[in-house]
């Protein structure tokens, strides 16, 4: 991923520092978009103060980057973001929301809507990194038109004191959504709500959650797949407990309203087995090295993110 | 190389090994035969230092150093390696990633005539029986060991794969003077690796040891392990 130094949208605290449009791509603050394009008011519930509007009209051959950062103590952000991908357009977005220090005690409540028009494609990588005193809420709603394709990854390997995420994905006919989420919780509480609605025939959704609860943490993951039309959906929730006093509550839910649709799920929550640890220690790794290797593998997914030109570590 | 004296081991409170003694010298291949649940794997895991395998009496000495209380990884650093019979799956971790971490020097993955795709797959996830064994032996060789325990190396292998594995063991380990403890139920692997000494374990004790492994194997095939209780050979090679 390109560094956030060249981000298309950069907001620090409540100040927009950079907006960089490109050929075929309109980038504005949400506030400006609300004024300039009245049709966007269908998507914004209220007049937005923070956040970005990205309208991708032509194919782009590199990822766009957005960054919303907290860098001062006790900042409160409420970004309202809107992304629209036009018909037949393929796009990639890397989206970073973070606190630049661990002790800023900020608040970030982001709400995003992403519209993929007919036969468009979006690969969006969403990365969060917070400090221990932050409180964060994040909701994203994806609307996929016919034959649209979405690949969405979310990673948060440094959770705030409290993190609430909500994803809703609505799929029209022949569209597909693939969601991968990786969360490593330590000294924090995470509440995940993820819902996928198969509303059009032959739509398909996959939701893959990987959660690790380290010391002093709780994770609740409610993942739901709803078939309103003929389609296929799969939920895959895996949790790894690294500390005795922490907990993971995985709640996969399948709701099928169409007899020809097929919904499946698999879920497991457990600790690293002694058998696996002994196996890796028999290869000369210490117990800590073995756990690091297992955790890195468990959370493995997309290419690493970079920030300020540096690759962010897989484990903080 | 390895000297075990009067070793007794408990697992989950149950006595499994009783006063086992065994000495393996540099470059020797020893076979350990015995029926299921006779204690062969327990001996392997006790040598490796698995925490659930509690040593209640006796000692394990490796190259003049008592290792009875060393953690697993420290024993590996001394040159001890184990190829497992039952390998756990490790999702998300590619075999190449593990090899990269443990190999010193970096292992040449092309030197094993296995499908290179194997290295890019998650460890033991969906591996066939043969692939698991090749994965094991590649991992073991990457550790540059001086003593290797093969726990049922031959289990579940067809003749072709068994020959290939035996050939790798000879070329990469035996030719470099590595000592081997071969735990097995079967005769074929003995014919390929021709152990210097064969031992029979029954009910947690080594009841028979001999350099004439063929005679021991013939006896087992003809009369079963029960005959070993009346063994004419000494129970330990001193």
Instruction: Look up residue B16 and give its DSSP letter.
Output: E
Query: How high is the pLDDT of residue A247?
Result: 97
ipTM value for the complex: 0.94
Q: HSE (CB half, 13 Å, CA atoms) of A2?
A: 15
Q: pTM for the whole thing?
A: 0.82
- Residues A250 and A208 both lie in one domain: yes
Q: Residues 77..96 of B with a Cβ closer than 8 Å to A: which? A: 77, 81-82, 84, 87-88, 90-94
- Residues A73 and A61 both lie in one domain: yes
Q: How many CB atoms lie within 10 A of CB A61?
A: 7
- Residues A168 and A314 both lie in one domain: no
- Is B153 in contact with B188 (CB distance < 8 Å)? no
Residue-wise pLDDT tens digits, A34-76? 999 999 999 998 999 999 999 999 999 899 999 999 999 999 9
Residue-wise pLDDT tens digits, B97-145? 999 999 877 777 777 778 888 999 999 999 999 999 999 999 999 999 9
Chain A contacts of B87, Cβ < 8 Å? Answer: 279
- Is A225 in contact with A198 (CB distance < 8 Å)? yes
Q: Which residues, in sequence order, are CB contacts of B111 under 8 Å at separation 6+? A: none
Rg (CA), chain A: 20
Residue whose C-alpha is closest to residue A182's, from A115, A116, A238, A106? A238
Chain A contacts of B102, Cβ < 8 Å? Answer: 283-285
Query: How high is the pLDDT of residue B232?
Result: 63
What is the three-class DSSP state of B221? helix
Q: Is A3 left (phi over 0), alpha (psi -120 to 50) or beta?
A: beta
Distance CA B145, CA A283 (A): 10
Distance CA A28, CA A53 (A): 5
- Residues A34 and A125 both lie in one domain: yes
- Is A286 in contact with B73 (CB distance < 8 Å)? yes
Distance CA B228, CA B220 (A): 7
Distance CA B49, CA B78 (A): 13
**E strand or H helix at B133, and its extent?**
helix B129-142
- Residues A186 and A237 both lie in one domain: yes
- Is A78 in contact with A105 (CB distance < 8 Å)? no
- Residues A190 and A155 both lie in one domain: yes
Chain B contacts of A270, Cβ < 8 Å? Answer: none
**E strand or H helix at B76, and its extent?**
helix B72-78
Could you check whether the bond before residue B235 is cis, i.e. omega within 30 degrees of 0?
A: no
- Residues A241 and A288 both lie in one domain: no
Locate all alpha helices (DSSP H) within A12-51, ordered by sequence.
30-36
Average pLDDT over residues B158-187: 91
Instruction: Look up residue A136 and give its DSSP letter.
Output: E
- Residues A122 and A47 both lie in one domain: yes
**Quick one: A185 exposed, middle or buried, by C-beta within 10 A (0-12, 13-18, 19+)?**
buried
Testing the interface with A: which of B90, B107, B148 to mutate, by most A Cβ within 10 A?
A: B90
Chain A contacts of B51, Cβ < 8 Å? Answer: 274, 278
B73 vs A285: CB contact, 8 Å cut-off? yes
**E strand or H helix at A226, and its extent?**
strand A217-227
Chain A contacts of B143, Cβ < 8 Å? Answer: 283-284
- ∠ Cα B117 B147 B237 (to 5°): 140
- ∠ Cα B143 B149 B155 (to 5°): 110
Distance CA A19, CA A188 (A): 33
Nearest CA distance, B234 vs chain A (angstrom): 33
Q: Which two tokens stand for residue A19?
A: 């907006």
Q: Which two tokens stand for residue B188?
A: 């074929």
Q: Which of B76, B87, B88 sits opposite A273 (nearest CB)?
A: B88
B101 vs A279: CB contact, 8 Å cut-off? no
Q: Which two tokens stand for residue B58?
A: 């006796």
Instruction: Look up residue B220 and give its DSSP letter.
Output: H
Pairs of CB atoms within 8 A across A/B: 62
**Looking at the complex, does the CB of residue B11 fall below 8 Å from at least one CB of chain A?**
no
Query: How high is the pLDDT of residue B4?
Result: 97
Distance CA B5, CA B177 (A): 23
Residue whose C-alpha is closest to residue A145's, from A115, A113, A125? A115
Q: Which two tokens stand for residue A3?
A: 């560094």
B92 vs A274: CB contact, 8 Å cut-off? no
- Residues A298 and A250 both lie in one domain: no
Distance CA A141, CA A166 (A): 8
- Residues A279 and A252 both lie in one domain: no
Q: Which of A276, A281, A299 sits opposite B73 (nearest CB)?
A: A281
Residue-wise pLDDT tens digits, B1-56? 999 999 999 999 999 999 999 999 999 999 999 998 999 999 999 999 999 999 99
Longest dimension (CA), chain A: 64
Q: Which residues, in sequence order, are CB contacts of B60 under 8 Å at separation 6+? A: B2, B3, B4, B7, B46, B47, B66, B67, B68
- Is A223 in contact with A237 (CB distance < 8 Å)? yes
Distance CA B70, CA B212 (A): 34
**E strand or H helix at A274, and its extent?**
helix A274-281
Q: How many CB atoms lie within 10 A of CB B69?
A: 9
Distance CA B200, CA A177 (A): 59
Cα distances from A213 to residues A106, A187, A249, in angstroms, run 23, 9, 10
Q: What b/e readout covers B74-107, taking b as 16+ CB neighbours within 10 angstroms?
A: ebbeebbbbbbbebeebebbbbbbbbebbbeeeb
Mean of pLDDT over chain B: 91
- Residues A251 and A280 both lie in one domain: no
Residues of chain A below pLDDT 50: 1-2, 302-316
Q: How many domains does chain A have?
A: 2
Domain holding A308, by residue range, is 273-316
Q: Which of A276, A285, A297 sits opposite B102 (nearest CB)?
A: A285
Chain B contacts of A285, Cβ < 8 Å? Answer: 73, 101-102
- Residues A40 and A109 both lie in one domain: yes
């Amino acid at each position: 991923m390109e560094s956030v130094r060249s981000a298309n949208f950069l907001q620090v605290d409540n100040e927009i520092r950079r907006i960089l449009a490109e050929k075929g791509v309109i980038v504005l603050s949400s506030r400006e978009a609300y004024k300039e394009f009245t049709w966007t008011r269908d998507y914004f519930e209220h007049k937005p103060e923070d956040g970005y509007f990205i309208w991708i009209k032509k194919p782009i051959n590199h990822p766009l980057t957005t960054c919303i950062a907290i860098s001062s103590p006790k900042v409160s952000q409420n970004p309202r973001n809107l992304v629209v991908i036009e018909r037949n357009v393929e796009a990639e977005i890397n989206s970073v929301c973070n606190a630049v220090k661990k002790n800023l005690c900020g608040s970030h409540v982001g709400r995003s809507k992403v519209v993929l028009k007919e036969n468009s494609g979006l690969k969006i990588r969403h990365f969060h990194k917070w400090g221990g005193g932050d409180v964060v809420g994040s909701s994203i709603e994806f609307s996929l038109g016919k034959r649209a394709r979405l690949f969405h990854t979310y990673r948060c390997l440094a959770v705030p004191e409290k993190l609430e995420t909500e994803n809703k994905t609505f799929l029209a006919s022949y569209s597909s959504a693939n969601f991968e989420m990786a969360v490593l919780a330590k000294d924090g509480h995470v509440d995940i709500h993820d819902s996928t609605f198969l509303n059009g025939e032959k739509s398909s959704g996959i939701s893959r959650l990987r959660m690790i609860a380290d010391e002093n943490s709780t994770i609740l993951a409610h993942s739901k797949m709803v078939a309103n039309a003929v389609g296929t959906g799969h939920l895959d929730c895996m949790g790894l407990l690294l500390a005795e006093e922490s907990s993971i509550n995985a709640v996969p839910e399948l709701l099928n309203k169409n007899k020809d649709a097929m919904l499946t799920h698999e879920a497991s929550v457990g600790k690293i087995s002694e058998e696996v640890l002994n196996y890796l220690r028999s290869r000369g790794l210490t117990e800590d090295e073995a756990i690091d290797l297992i955790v890195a593998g468990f959370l493995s997914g997309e290419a690493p993110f970079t920030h300020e030109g540096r690759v962010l570590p897989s484990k903080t | 190389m390895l000297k075990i004296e009067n070793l007794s081991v408990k697992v989950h409170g149950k006595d499994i090994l009783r006063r086992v003694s065994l000495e393996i010298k540099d470059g020797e291949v020893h076979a350990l035969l015995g029926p299921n649940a006779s204690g062969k794997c327990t001996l392997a895991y006790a040598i490796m230092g698995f925490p659930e395998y509690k040593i209640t009496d006796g000692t394990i000495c490796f190259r003049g150093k008592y290792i009875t209380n060393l953690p697993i990884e420290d024993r590996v650093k001394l040159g001890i390696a184990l190829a497992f019979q039952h390998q756990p799956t490790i999702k998300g971790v590619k075999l190449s990633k593990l090899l990269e971490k443990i190999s010193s020097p970096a292992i040449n993955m092309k030197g094993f005539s296995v499908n290179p795709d194997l290295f890019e797959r998650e460890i033991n996830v969906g591996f066939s029986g043969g692939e698991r064994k090749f994965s094991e032996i590649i991992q073991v060789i990457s550790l540059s060991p001086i003593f290797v325990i093969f726990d049922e190396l031959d289990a579940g292998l067809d003749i072709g794969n068994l020959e290939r594995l035996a050939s790798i063991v000879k070329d990469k380990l035996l030719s470099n003077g590595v000592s081997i403890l071969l735990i097995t139920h079967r005769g074929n692997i003995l014919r390929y690796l021709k152990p210097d000494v064969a031992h029979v374990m029954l009910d947690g004790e080594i009841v028979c040891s001999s350099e004439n492994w063929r005679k021991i194997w013939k006896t087992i095939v003809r009369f079963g392990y029960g005959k070993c209780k009346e063994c004419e050979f000494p129970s330990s090679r001193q």
